[in-house]
Structures are given as C-alpha cells and as structure tokens.
Amino acid sequence: MINAITTNPVNYLNKKKGLWSWLTTKDHKRIGLLYQYSIMIFFFTAAVLGLLMKIEKFAPGPTIMTAQTYNAMFTIHGIIMIFVIVIPGLSAVFGNFFLPIMIGARDVAFPRINLLAWYLYITGALIALYSQFAHGHSPDAGWTFYVPYSVISHSNMVLALMGAFVLGFASILTGLNFIVTIHRLRAPGMSWFKMPLFPWAIYATAWIQLLASPIIGITLLMVVAERVMGIGFFDPTLGGDPLLYQHLFWIYSHPAVYIMILPAMGVVTEIFPTFSQKPVFGYGAIAMSSLAIAFIGYFVWGHHMFTSGIGYYSRVFFSLLTFLVAIPSAIKVFNWLATMYGGSIDLKTPLLYAISFIFLFTIGGFSGLAQGALAANVHLTDTDFIVAHFHYIVFGGMGFGFLAAIHYWFPKIYGRMYNLKFANIAWGFIFIGFNILYFPMFILGVEGMPRRYFDYLPRFQGLQEISSVGAFILIIGLILMVSNLIYYRYKGAIAPQNPWHGVTLEWTVPSPPPEENFEEIPVISDPPYQFKEPVRN
Amino acid sequence: MIKIMLTSEKIEYTDRDTGKLGMWLFLFTELFLFGGLFLIYAVFRKEYAHDFHLGALDLNALIGTTNTVILLTSSMTVAMSLTAIQTNKPEKAYNLVLITVILALLFLINKYFEWGHKIRLDIYPGSDLMKNLPPGEIMFFGLYYVMTGLHALHVIAGAVLLLIIMRQIKTGKINQEHFLSQENGALYWHLVDLIWIFLFPLLYLVT
C-alpha cells in the first residue's frame, strides 16, 4: 500500500464556501462536523457548570453559591450532558461522518432528514439552555424529572421538558436514517458479516434510538400535561401513580445508556485492530454482542427502582437480567484484549484513549454490578457511589470513546496531523484528572455521602477536596487537548491518506474525503480487518 | 482487498423501497408513542375497572361511531387515490385525496363539538366537577382528553401531508412513475386510522 503524502485539493471542506453552504448542506460529513462543533460548545458549557459544583464542594457549607443555585446547576449540567451531548454524541458526529464511508456509500439514505435532525437538535438544545436563563427559576428537579417534584416545582420545568422532547425527536430521525442507510446502501459485495464493526455498533444503537425514544417523548409530554392541565396520571391525590412515571422514564432511559456506550465500543473496536495490525478477534461475537446488549438492555430498567417500592419478585427478575447484560459487555472486553495479544502494538494517542476506555469502562461496569445486587443497592442508592459509577461509564466510556474517535479520525476529517506528543500529554492530564475526580466519589458514596447534596459533614472534606482538585486537572487536560486539535487543524503537517495503516474503507479515500466520498463505488470481496502486508512503523 | 468497480453511475438514494422502509420505521415510532398511553390506560383500567365503565357511559357512542365510519371511509379513499395514480389518472387521484382531506375535516368538526359539549358539562381536567369525581373517572377523562387530543394532532398532521400531496399531484411531481410521497402519506393516514380503531373501543365501548 502506498502512502503518498498528498493532500486532496478539492474536498468536502472547500468545494463549497461560506456559512450558508454549511447551514444548508446535505453532505453527511459536513452535518457530522456541525454536530461536532455544537457538541463541543455545549460540552464546555456543561463542564464549567460541573467545575463550579466541584468548587462549591471544596469546603462544607455555602462556598460560592446557594443551595437553590446548586440544584439548578446539577439539573442543567445533567440535561445538557445527557440529552445534548452523550446521547446524540458519537452516533451523530462520527456515525454521520464515517458510517456511509465505511459501508461504501456516498451519503446517508435521507440527507435532507439528516439536516432536519440537526436543526431539531439545535432547537431542542437551545430550548433546554433557555430554560436556565428565562424569566423565573432555573429547573431544579434533576435530569430525571422525577414526579411529583417536577410537577410542583416553581421553575421553568416545561421549557426543560420540551427541550428534551425535541432532542428525542432529533435522535429518532438520526436512528431511522442510519438503519435505512445500513440496510439499503452497503457497497456491492458487502454482506452483513463483511461490514466493519463500527457500523454494527451504530446499527444496534440506531434501533434503540428508534424504539426507545418515543417512550420518553410521550412520558415528557405527560409531565407537561400534568403541569399545564393538571391531568393527574402521576398524582396520587387524583388517583394517579408516581411509580408509573419512574417505570416509563427508565424504560427509555436505561436503553439510552446503551445508546451512549455502544458507539463508543464500536470506535475502540476499530482502533484496536488498526494499532495492533491484526484482525479483530471474534468478529461475530463482537457484532452479536452489540445486538445482545441492545436487546437485553430493554429489560433491565427496574434496577433503577429497587428502593422505590416495586415487588419482590420483579426486583429479583430485574437484578438477574442486570447481571446478564454484563456478559456481552465482558465478551467485548476479552475480544479487545485478545485482538491486542501478539499484535505489533503502536501506542499512539488513539490507542491510549482506547486502552483507558477499557480500564475505565471495566471499573464503571463492575461498580454497576455492585448496585445491581439487591442488598448492596439498598445501601448505595442515591449516594455519590452512583454518581461515580455513571461518570465512569458515561465519561470514562462514551467520553473517552469520543476522544479516541476524534484522535483516530482527525487526519481523515481535516487532512492534517495533530501533535502526537502534545496529545499524549493532554491524555495524561485527562486520564489522571478523571480518576482523581471520580474515584474518591466511590469511597464517599460507600461512606454515606448522598448525591445531589450541596453541603456535607466535615468528615467528608478530605475526599471532597481531592475530588475537586481532580476536576481542575481534568479541565486543564481538556483545554490542552482541544487547543492541540484546533491549532494543528490549521497548522498541522499534511496528513497522508492512511496515517495509521488502517484497512477499512475510510482509509481508501483521500484526506479530507471528496464531496461524494467515492469516485467509484468499491466492490467488497473479503471480510474486514485483513492486514495482509506487514507494516513498519 | 478492495476492488474498485469501474462505474460512474450515481446511486439513486430515494428509490421506492428505501423511502418506504424509512416510513415504516417512522410508523413504528408513532406506535410506541401511543404505546406509552396505552400502557397507562391498561394500568388504570385494571385498577379502576368500575369507574372506567361509568366514565365510558358519559361518552357519546354515536359520535364515536360516526367518526369511526368517517376515518374508515377516508382510509378507503386514500387507498383508491393510490390505485388511480398508478393507473395514470391524476385527476381522479387528486379528487380522491381531496375527499380524504374533507373527511379529515369532518372528523375534526365532530371532535370539536364532542369536546365542546364535555367542557360545557364541566368535564375537563381541573374543573370543579372533576375534582369531586372518584379517582378512576378522573383518570378516565384524563386519558380521554390526552389520547383523543394527541390523535387529533395526528389527524391534523396527516391532513397537512395530504394537502402537500394534492399540490404535488397538481404540479405533476407525483405521477404514474413517481408516487413515493403519496404512498408514504397514505401509509401515515392509515396509521392515524388504525390508532383510532383502538381508541374507539377502549374509550367509548368499555361500558
């Protein structure tokens, strides 16, 4: 394979010019970038809110804000992070950009709906953000919108709920688009089991987006109806049942956890073979475990409600299923490790992020099992332990998956290389900061520190301070990482077509790709991940 | 490993099967949206079976039946319009879609009078009368308003789609060869009809 150092003079970035050409684009690559830039901006907004909360917790008692402000902060931090960033995140950015290229298509099945979904996304995100600043109190019921508080709270709940509703609609359209794209637009010869594993992960994700999001849609509308019209489905004084809300909410929101994590698993599944120069171990097992996670993930929602007063047998049932869903996740972990085993490992930034993904995801996964056990759950419910757990999964999993993806595909997206040494240093800050920030929260939780409290007992102060210091290190790392990418996006060396010696289809097109990806649609004859020629690094 | 096929043909992105697959998937999401309400209905029906019986007695089964007949007829006319366009009779197709839209309007007018009557009788969420009803009836009427209300919104959305289709038939954008958008619009309209087929017995005939 020849890696000629050439740039692609006419590509999707410069074929058309001007802001208007971006705002009206139907090119899946440009829409992917639109998502990427919006997600970056929202991410830093919500990350700053997180940092402010950590500063508040540096000492017991009020430090820099009031309790009510703190409630609003964790609510809006949660809403933005969950609904605006991690749920759409990977599939909207890298799914949009690379799914069509990796299956040998020129675009997604419905390019116009793709653009519509981005506009809906922006609308929803802005409504959610507006709820924070509009006249009246900022929403303060947490991102889970639990009734009865979300119904009686005197804050801009309706705006926040409508924002989440619109975001859900954007998510449905994206999922629908990807399912149809994968079914209809694979290149000639690319049978299902010749498809790379990132598209498989996106496929499983898209089904969850499609089938679970309508449930949250109707549930949020019901809460709006409760607030505006006083319908009373969830209000016991009118004959309703608040527990019903929790069921409906988690029927969506548990599968949504897999919307977040599955694409990240897909990304690292691409990175391990490339940086080990070895075919992925257990292709079929990885592809099928994605579908198994998506399927079983539908039937475990009750584990969020073990202490809410659901029946004894249903708790046993949900606990058992929760343990079952760990199996396909573990299959993936072992397959990734086996892929690296005996390979010619090239420890560059994307692989660093991918390996730390395994590390953090494993901690997050095991701590999840601790809470899936009925007895431990009673002790751990609503403590900092759960906060640490889901940050290890959502940030350590999806977040590190996202960062892995951006460092892996950056040369393809922009046609330039970033500074690897600098990127590794930034990774060090992020990884260390992350663990200092969140690991103490496991201990705090076990010792009894409740989540969402703005104050704490003096005996927790030591660990809280360590955690707050971690937040600063993490933020420094993130700033270093982003400035590296932004600077070298303009000043970096010209990237070759295939800098990492990958073998999936995106590495066969120039960097950056031309407007319609392929001059000629490729015909596929072999399974993916065939590293035939040994490469010296 | 990857052979390049020498072809410059562009892929037809919105061929008929692709477009229809997208529409069917979208219809699934609509079913799930209503599914949440059907779930709530099932839970409360089990809990308050007797109150639901009493609540349903207050609904006017005649208007409900009329609306059912109207929607079933409209499903027929929209299906006939599709046959008409496939046999190259755009004029007939246009008129049949027009009849469908008129039937949709009739449905909404009936709904308006039905709701108006209820509201005059002080049966609406949060009214003084409702507060004194047993909880099961409060739930029943809550479900009645939310379910038929959400359905009515879908009737309006479907009717708007049909209006766009009428315009496209007129301009020739929909013709004997290209009728995907009409087919999808008809599919959507059938869904609106289908949901009503479930709402009608659940709300009007549970006595």
pLDDT in tens, A305-349: 999 989 999 999 999 999 999 999 999 999 999 999 999 999 999
CA–CA separation, A52 vs A63, rounded Å?
10
This prediction's pTM: 0.93
pLDDT, residue A7, reads 65
pLDDT, residue A339, reads 94
Please, which residues have CB within 8 angstroms of residue B25's CB and are 6 or more apart in sequence? A176, A179, A180, A210
Verify whether the Cβ–Cβ distance A520 to B21 is below 8 Å. no
For range B27-52, the mean pLDDT: 94
CA–CA separation, A390 vs A360, rounded Å?
11
Q: Is residue B199 classed as helix, strand or coil in its secondary structure? A: helix
Min Cα–Cα distance to chain A from B2, Å: 5
Residue B13 pLDDT class (50, 70, 90 cuts): very low
Residue A248 pLDDT class (50, 70, 90 cuts): very high
For range A249-254, the mean pLDDT: 92
Helix (H) or strand (E) holding A423: helix A420-447
CA–CA separation, B196 vs B104, rounded Å?
12
pLDDT, residue B131, reads 82
Burial of B146 from C-beta contacts in 10 A (0-12 / 13-18 / 19+):
buried
- Give phi and psi for A370, each to the nearest 5: -60, -35
Min Cα–Cα distance to chain B from A486, Å: 34
Q: CB of B12 within 8 Å of any CB in chain A?
A: no
For range A411-422, the mean pLDDT: 95
Token representation of residue A462:
């030591």
For range A82-98, the mean pLDDT: 94
Min Cα–Cα distance to chain B from A227, Å: 11
For range B29-56, the mean pLDDT: 94
For range A460-478, the mean pLDDT: 96
- Check pLDDT > 80 for residue A157: yes
Helix (H) or strand (E) holding B2: strand B2-4
Fold adopted by A21-508: Cytochrome C Oxidase; Chain A (1.20.210)
Residue B14 pLDDT class (50, 70, 90 cuts): low
Of A155-159, A407-411, B98-102, which gets the smallest average pLDDT? Answer: A155-159
Contact indicator for A512, A101 with CB cutoff of 8 Å = no
Closest Cα in chain B to A183: B18
Verify whether the Cβ–Cβ distance A526 to B1 is below 8 Å. yes
pLDDT for A53-79, tens place per residue? Answer: 999 999 999 999 999 999 999 999 999
More confident residue, A2 or A379: A379
Contact indicator for B140, B55 with CB cutoff of 8 Å = yes
In chain B the domains, ranked by start, together with CATH numbers, are 51-204 (1.20.120.80)
Q: Tokens 């809410």 belong to which residue?
A: A308
Which residues of chain B are within 8 Å of residue A221 when distances are taken between CB atoms? Answer: 150
Min Cα–Cα distance to chain A from B34, Å: 7
Verify whether the Cβ–Cβ distance B1 to A523 is below 8 Å. no
For range B124-150, the mean pLDDT: 90
pLDDT, residue A535, reads 53
List chain A domain ranges.
21-508
pLDDT for A494-533, tens place per residue? Answer: 999 999 999 999 999 998 999 889 988 999 988 899 887 6
pLDDT, residue B15, reads 77
CA–CA separation, B127 vs A161, rounded Å?
25
CA–CA separation, A279 vs A276, rounded Å?
8
User: A8-22, A105-119, A228-242: which has the highest mean pLDDT?
Assistant: A105-119
Looking at the partner chain, which of B11, B22, B139 has a beta carbon nearest the beta carbon of A185?
A: B11
